[in-house]
Amino acid sequence: MSNVSEVSDPDAVEVAAGREHENLQGWIAQLANETDTRDALEKAFDYRGDVTLVRKDGTSIEGYVFDRHTGASLADSFVRIIPVGQRTRVSIPYAEIATLKFTGKDTAAGKSFESWIKKYWAKKAAGETNIQIEPENLD
């Protein structure tokens, strides 16, 4: 039988590690081969900010990558992006992308549950009471 104090003690609760959040803001991905391209575009999908895709024809598009489809080849794979300031959705095949830049602010940076727990314990150690989960300002 477990001790009730163990259950109510947050230090005794097992915490699983979250996924490592990379700081990609400002990074320009090197798309040297198929693996690099697929890996970088997967990171763009997970990124919570805008990216800039430069096509091989020299045109570029900046926006939020909200979807991707990975096919057997780069020509069969594509990302879907919502361009900045527009409501349209654009599909771009991986094979057409020459450069990927992480240009927008990563709105998820520093907002992991683990970060919140650290802030919570710092507030508790400082004697604060009635500590609540509050959304952080994105700006």
Report pLDDT digits (tens) over 70-90. 999 999 999 999 999 999 999
Q: What is the pLDDT of residues 118-139, one digit of tens each?
A: 777 888 888 888 777 666 665 5
> Which residue from 46, 55, 137 is spatially nearest to 92, judged by alpha carbons?
55
% of the chain exceeding 90 in pLDDT = 51
C-alpha 14, offset from chain centre: 25
91: pLDDT strictly greater than 70: yes
Q: What six digits make up the tokens of 129?
A: 């009471």
Report pTM.
0.63
The total number of residues shown for the chain amounts to 139
Q: What is the chain's mean pLDDT, rounded? A: 81
Please name each of the domains of the chain with its CATH number: 22-131 (2.30.30.100)
Distance CA 2, CA 74 (A): 54
